[in-house]
Amino acid sequence: MTTVDQIDFKNKKAIIRVDFNVPLNEENRVTDPTRILAAKPTIDAVLAQGGSCILMSHLGRPKGITPGLSLGHIVKTVEEILGVSVLFAQDSIGESAQALAAQLKPGEVLLLENLRFHEEETKGDSTFAKELANLADIYINDAFGTAHRAHASTTIIAQFFPDRKVVGKLLEQEIEAIDKVLQTGEKPVLAILGGSKVSSKITIIENILDKIDHLIIGGGMAYTFVKAKGGSVGNSICEDDYLDFTLELMEKAKAKNVQIHLPVDVIATTDFSNDSERKTMDINEIPNGWEGLDAGHKSLENFKQVVLEAKTILWNGPLGVFEFSNFANGTIELGTFIAESTAKGAFSLVGGGDSVAAVKQFGFDHKVSYVSTGGGAMLESLEGKTLPGIAALKE
């Protein structure tokens, strides 16, 4: 793949697929600019070389033109972050976009209106992709968050730039981080999987089993394993349809010399709420009427050893119901262990949905090696799938 640093952008217009799908509050202000900040290095590199940038993104899931989801709302924030003024095209294609793109001078930035105001975007329509392509000389994909979608701006457009399609710096970092865990990671390699269900992580577990040395299973997922091994999990979340699968998985892991670490004790409660009665108990002996919502101290001591010895760590999914402060301790402690291991030299990647929310909420995002910006894209990468957005840059 061609990288940003291999291209001369002088007097060239680069159309960059960014992921500016940021949260807005009721006043249409950006509440978390992480994704805009993440795209800055690529944009800065193009501008510094005397190129200009045409930024395109989606925002939310509009059905047709939806004023509340206009990218016009984020122009000010983008300007503040980039430190340059940003032109805005009221439509991503058509005369307004063409006129503004044609007049764009080196060092200038143009933001196009929400791509998904046209249904052709998600349909992967090639006429729409060509219209976008006609606006620029070079295509850069820097939107990891949508790299698992074969949309017009993420995948189809690349064919119109056979020798001028470029992987953005953020996308490159994301690919590198996944490779560091699954391909080139220093041993011992540890994966920590938590969250609510085994069923949603089956393909991930199957894919990573050949690549890891240790697997910590936590959160709601653990109870299906515990029950499959003969334990009593009371009212804890458990997928009875997957008991056989987890038994087979434990056999496979044994054959591949992967050590599986399950919690041994849990903090259980009688009601799925923050303030209900809490008791620490053996994970194999949870009585009916009680459900485990967090890892207990003994489990955390065991996990700590494994995390501190690991040289490569992947974390996906919380160890408990971290949204309830009384059941967040396991997830917070795990974050502390990973931070400590990272400070000692381990490479740590946090990716996929709720674990990213947890590391941010508890302030570990700067204490791990890399926090992925893509939920679904990260999960599909961990499943071993080739993401269409990345494949299109290689073809």
Catalytic residues: 35, 197, 353, 376
Asked if 237 touches ligand AMP (CB under 6 A), the answer is yes
Q: Least CB distance from residue 35 to ligand AMP, whole Å?
A: 20
∠42-45-46 over CA atoms, to 5°?
90
Q: Least CB distance from residue 25 to ligand AMP, whole Å?
A: 22
Asked if 220 touches ligand AMP (CB under 6 A), the answer is yes
Asked if 234 touches ligand AMP (CB under 6 A), the answer is no
Per-residue contact flags (x/-) with ligand AMP for residues 7 to 46, judged by CB under 6 A: ----------------------------------------
Q: Least CB distance from residue 246 to ligand AMP, whole Å?
A: 15
What pairs with residue 54 in β-bridges?
Answer: 15, 110
Site for ligand AMP in 160-179 (CB under 6 A): none
68 burial level (CB within 10 Å; 0-12, 13-18, 19+): exposed
Q: Given candidates 124, 168, 195, 234, which one binds ligand AMP under the rule CB under 6 A?
A: 195
Asked if 340 touches ligand AMP (CB under 6 A), the answer is no
Asked if 323 touches ligand AMP (CB under 6 A), the answer is yes
Stretch that binds ligand AMP, among 50-58, 59-67, 111-119, 191-199 (CB under 6 A): 191-199
Cα gap 146→177, rounded to integer Å: 17
Asked if 321 touches ligand AMP (CB under 6 A), the answer is yes
Stretch that binds ligand AMP, among 16-24, 102-110, 178-186, 192-200 (CB under 6 A): 192-200
Q: Given candidates 353, 375, 388, 389, which one binds ligand AMP under the rule CB under 6 A?
A: 353
Strand order in the sheet with 265-269: 278-282, 265-269, 291-295
CA separation, residue 292 to residues 120, 260, 309, 337 (Å): 46, 19, 27, 22
Q: Given candidates 231, 318, 351, 389, which one binds ligand AMP under the rule CB under 6 A?
A: 318
Asked if 293 touches ligand AMP (CB under 6 A), the answer is yes
- What's phi and psi for 291, nearest 5 deg? -135, 140
- What's phi and psi for 71, nearest 5 deg? -70, -10
Asked if 354 touches ligand AMP (CB under 6 A), the answer is yes
Q: Given candidates 51, 62, 185, 219, which one binds ligand AMP under the rule CB under 6 A?
A: 219
| Four-point Cα dihedral 57, 63, 69, 70, nearest 10 | 70
SS3 350: strand
- What's phi and psi for 37, nearest 5 deg? -60, -35
Q: Are 303 and 295 in contact (CB under 8 A)?
A: yes
Q: Closer to ligand AMP at the Cβ: 200 or 259? A: 200
Asked if 292 touches ligand AMP (CB under 6 A), the answer is yes
Which 3-state string (H, E, C) describes 152-198? CCCCHHHHHCCCCEEECHHHHHHHHHHHHHHCCCCCCEEEEECCCCC
CA separation, residue 145 to residues 41, 100, 371, 372 (Å): 16, 27, 12, 9
**Which is nearest to 175 in space by CA: 201, 141, 198, 205?**
141
- What's phi and psi for 78, nearest 5 deg? -65, -40
Q: Given candidates 98, 196, 232, 369, which one binds ligand AMP under the rule CB under 6 A?
A: 196
Per-residue contact flags (x/-) with ligand AMP for residues 298 to 317, judged by CB under 6 A: -------------------x
Residues at the contact surface with ligand AMP, assessed by CB under 6 A: 195-197, 200, 219-220, 237, 292-293, 317-318, 320-321, 323, 353-354
